[in-house]
Structure 1
Amino acid sequence: MGIPCDKKEMRELVGEYIKASGLKTPFKNNVPGEDWYLGFMKRNPQLSLKKPEHLQKVRKDARNPFVVYDFYDKLQKVIEEHQLADKPQFVFNADESGFHHDPSRIRAIGVKGKALSRVSGGSGRESTTVLACVSADGSVLPPLIIFKGAAVQARWTSTDGFPGTLYATSKNGWMEEAQFLNWFANGFIPFVKEIRSKESTLNQSALLVYDGHCSHISVKIIEIALQNNIVLMRLPSHLTDKMQPLDKCVFGPIKTHWEKKLIAYGKTQMGKGCMRLSKQLFSQFIGETWKEAMSADNIISGFLSTGLFPVDRFKFPESEFPSKLLQDYHKSLNASDMVSAQSEAVLEIESKQFLTYFMFI
């Protein structure tokens, strides 16, 4: 249930069970002591005292086999219907992430017991949103950089950026429907058309898998997708850390590379009075990061490890689900199989009756 017991809580829980069951024990006040706890752990070697992983309740509740496996079933159906099983170049994943202007992830060596500081050019909280899109064959689309502002200024862009980089602005620097729509129509669609042209498969469907952020879904986006034979598929809510290729294997290495680049830049600015990262330098560094750290191996591994391509529902391990929900799910499968078998038996009987009747006539 996501609320594990510590040593004391477990002993008290056993005490409650003893009292409720009316059992007689040598325990003081019917609550077992430390010796009993040590013996219990020794008798159950599969258990250990460990630090729990922090998990938001919404993410815990989202780990539902009915939801997760239904997604994989639908994904398999889409792959089969649109003949994508041998076309990884037409299976895409897109997502945006914030890139901090000051390094915060990279550890450094310091004296034990004393605070360690790293000089930065800002507050450490400033970041810029960047949208990434990759395909199951390891290909990378140019990024979309979203600056905070009213309109994109020419001095914010960089000739050293990644070829084809798109730029946009929003009031708070976050992704909104207008920015995603612009990227979808002017970045993603042309990229897909170019692949179709190269491979002489002008009618080949493409699949874009992404999260359900409100900026990603609108009537206009769906209309453009239909017009261009693009299938849109939304990932289950609060599960992108487990099911999205970009989150699983791509953004981590990219962010590490990004922060190393910021640290290297900061060292060159020591003593020059200004370490703040300009928008133009941000665009240049993002371009360099895309060229240097967007690994095809990591991208392909992301699709494999999440089971998105090739489709493999068991990449989401059953151990991630609450045991009660998993039991209910398996019961529903067994019940469904029984109904299916009964239906097939009825159809077989009816077909035999029909044939008998037909032969009699």
Structure 2
Amino acid sequence: MEKAGSKKRKRPEKSVIEEAVSEVLEKGQSINRTALALNISRAYLAKIVKKVKTCGDSSYEHCPNIGNRRVFTTEQENMPADYLKTASKMCHGLTRHQAKKLGFDYAVANDICPPKWKEVETATDDWLKGFMSRHKDLTVRKPESTSLSRATSFNKANVSTFFEKLNTVLQRYKFPPHRIFNADETGCSTVTNPPKVIAERGSKQIGQVTSAKRGTLVTTLFFINAAGGFLPPVFVFPRVNYKDIMLNNGPPGALGLAQVSGWMTEDCFVKALEHFVIHVRPSKENPALILMDNHTSHVNLRVVEFARQNFIIIVTFLPHCSHKLQPLDITVYGPFKTRYRTAMNEWMLTNPGKTVTIYQIGQFVKEAYLSAFSPQNITQGFLKTGIYPLNSNIFSEEAFLSSYVTDRPDAQSNDGLNLYKESMERNLETTPPSSTKSLEAGEENELLIDQNIRLSHRSTSTPTAANPSQ
């Protein structure tokens, strides 16, 4: 039961306070009766009335001293707030403790550090709480683990290289949208995280039945095109030999393959391309384009030779960039995984006591596949990645913030060499060399740097393409 009088009184409006002061001083009303009538604090009204009488002001304008304990002004607080937002976008976000250290360092730099902060060498929890309440666009979130390779490889240079290659291929072959395909695999396990369920409020732990602690993985390969269409998927089961029973109740027209590990291999991918040729029928007059990552099972001699013989153009994404450039990852796999988990959970509830095996994977994929692979989801994936319609400026500056942490001069230009030469000339002007040997050493170092830059330019990874006309 709530204690009587424990409810916090709201701060009265400015006009209400001014009216109360006028009632007491000009009309002779008592402080108690006025405070009760206007629902304001008697002590607060008495304090204001005493202040007005002391100053002798004929008319009172209420100006409450709210926020007098703030360390920074509004303009000063905007700088650390912007810094926190930018750092999180660069995948280098600050924790609560680090944010308090930032506030302390900022206060020291501005020479406004409170004594209490100096004792502990950090800002207090009260300041951080007030700071977060004043900046509603900031919140504490649990970030997703992002590898350094993924964070730094998606940069302007790599994206520009990909779109240049893609534009060259599109200009040469004039592909219509239904001939531009994206191919990618995803894992379908016999054990997944269960969906959210309704339970009693206040329960410390909620359980949901799953098939086992660890699941068996089945690799599934999907093909989609920029017109919103898709092909029957390809399954790679972790078995020595494939049996038709493995795809009972699965997607119609799907291809089943067997591989001991359940992963996509070179042989399996060639068979998947044969499956692609059967449904798409590319020809010299009407070739097809496939966009995919450059995994070793995708890019090898057998795959390239098969693509050339069957008039398939292959353009690969740069390493660690498919999470931003691949349509399947952007708008399709998210709803597919959600519906896949839902289908498995419903099967577990309607088949109590039974465990999920690889023989039910096809059924779950079919239910999720037909709903998630909608024309709207597929076309939005090609649109948001800038592949179709082609838009090389689809990504804003914020999308490349994570790569700025390790940004370095472009290897395709001689900017690094020019900067080195300029620094060498300045150093020679200010401090002349003591002997001819030092000059020769400087020239030798300059030649070595020039060679290194050229070697790095040659080794820069670029998207590969299998061209049937070559």
Compared with structure 1, are the counterparts of its residues 36 and 165 closer, same or farther at alpha carbon in structure 2 (3 Å cutoff)? Answer: closer
The residue identity in structure 2 corresponding to 1:187 is H
Once residues 410 and 263 of structure 2 are traced to their aligned partners in structure 1, the CA distance between those partners, rounded to angstroms, is 44
Q: CA deviation at 1:229?
A: 1.9
Residue 364 of structure 2 is aligned to residue 282 of structure 1: no
1:108 aligned to 2:187?
Answer: no
Q: 1:217 aligns with which of 296, 299, 307?
A: 299
Q: Which residue identity is paired with 1:282?
A: I
Task: Confirm or deny that 1:66 pairs with 2:145.
Answer: no
**Map of 1:208 onto structure 2:** 290
Partners of 1:35 and 1:164 lie apart in 2 by 61
Mapped pair 1:155 → 2:245: yes
The 8 Å contact of residues 340 and 367 in structure 2, kept in 1 or not, is answered as no
Note if 1:134 corresponds to 2:249. Answer: no
1:37/1:123 Cα in 2 relative to 1: closer, same or farther (>3 Å)? Answer: closer
Q: Bigger shift: 29-38 or 229-238?
A: 29-38
Contact 1:134–1:299 under 8 Å retained in 2: yes
Percent identity for Structure 1 against Structure 2:
26
Per the TM alignment, residue 150 of structure 1 is displaced from its structure 2 partner at its CA by 0.8
Q: How do 1:46-65 and structure 2 match up within 5 A?
A: 48=138, 50-51=140-141, 53-54=143-144, 55-65=146-156
Q: In structure 2, what is the equivalent of residue 177 of structure 1?
A: 266
Q: Is the alpha carbon distance of 1:255 and 1:335 closer, same or farther for their aligned partners in structure 2, counting shifts above 3 Å?
A: same
SS of match in other structure, 1:110: coil
Deviation at 1:142, TM superposition (A): 0.9
Residue 279 of structure 1, CA deviation: 3.4
One-letter amino acid matched to 1:122: A
- CA separation of 1:172 and 1:113: change in aligned 2, threshold 3 A: same
8 A contact 2:190–2:358 mirrored in 1: no
Which structure has more RCO (C-alpha within 8 Å, separation ≥ 6)? 1
Letter in 1 for 2:174: Q
Query: C-alpha offsets along residues 197-216 of structure 1, whole Å, 9 cap, x if unaligned?
Result: xxxx7512211011122211
Partner SS state of residue 387, structure 2: coil
The alignment covers a number of residue pairs equal to 320
SS of alignment partner, residue 297 of structure 2: helix
Whole-Å Cα distance in 1 between the matches of residues 358 and 402 of structure 2?
49
- TM-aligned CA deviation for residue 178 of structure 1: 1.2
Shift of the 27–282 alpha-carbon distance from structure 1 to 2, 3 Å rule, reads closer
Instruction: Give 1:311's aligned residue.
Output: 390
The whole-number CA distance in structure 2 between the counterparts of 1:215 and 1:225 is: 14
Structure 2 unaligned segments of length 5 or more: list them: 1-89, 416-470
Give me the whole-angstrom Cα distance separating, in 1, the residues matched to 2:323 and 2:329. Answer: 6
3-state SS of 1:128 partner:
strand
Preserved contact between residue 106 and residue 259 of structure 1 (Cα < 8 Å): yes
TM-score normalised by length of structure 1 = 0.76
Deviation at 1:49, TM superposition (A): 5.1
Q: 1:33 to 1:188 in 2, by over 3 A?
A: same
Q: Of residues 330, 337, 340 in structure 2, which corresponds to 1:248?
A: 330
Instruction: Report if the CA contact (8 A) 1:245-1:306 is conserved.
Output: yes
Aligned-residue offset at 1:133: 0.8
Q: Quick check: 1-10 or 310-319, which moved more?
A: 1-10
- Decide whether the 8 Å contact of 1:147 with 1:170 is kept in 2: yes
CA distance in 1, matches of 2:238, 2:148: 31
The answer to whether the Cα contact below 8 Å between 1:65 and 1:325 also exists between their aligned partners in 2 is no
Aligned to 1:145: 235
Cα shift at 1:189: 1.7
Amino acid at match of 2:347: Y
Q: Which moved more, 1:59-68 or 1:149-158?
A: 149-158
1:34-53 equivalence runs, <5 A: 48=138, 50-51=140-141, 53=143
1:140-171 Cα offsets, whole Å, 9 max, x none, are 1111111111111233232x432321111112
Check the 8 A contact 2:91/2:402 in 1, yes or no. Answer: no
Residue among 378, 381, 384 paired with 1:299: 378
Structure 2 SS opposite 1:97: strand
For 2:112 and 2:333, the matched residues in 1 are separated by: 55
1:236 correspondence with 2:318: yes
Whether the 8 Å contact between 2:270 and 2:306 is mirrored in structure 1 is: no
Q: Note the 1:113-128 alignment, pairs <5 A.
A: 113-128=203-218
Q: 1:231 to 1:118 in 2, by over 3 A?
A: same
Q: TM-score, normalised by structure 2?
A: 0.59
Residue 190 of structure 1: aligned partner: 278
Choose 125-134 or 24-33, whichever is displaced more. 24-33
Secondary structure of the residue that 2:365 maps to in structure 1? helix
Q: Which moved more, 1:49-58 or 1:222-231?
A: 49-58
8 A contact 1:189–1:228 mirrored in 2: yes
RMSD of aligned residue pairs (Cα, Å) = 3.6
Q: Partners of 2:198 and 2:280 in 1: how far apart?
A: 46
Residue 79 (1) aligns with residue 158 (2): no
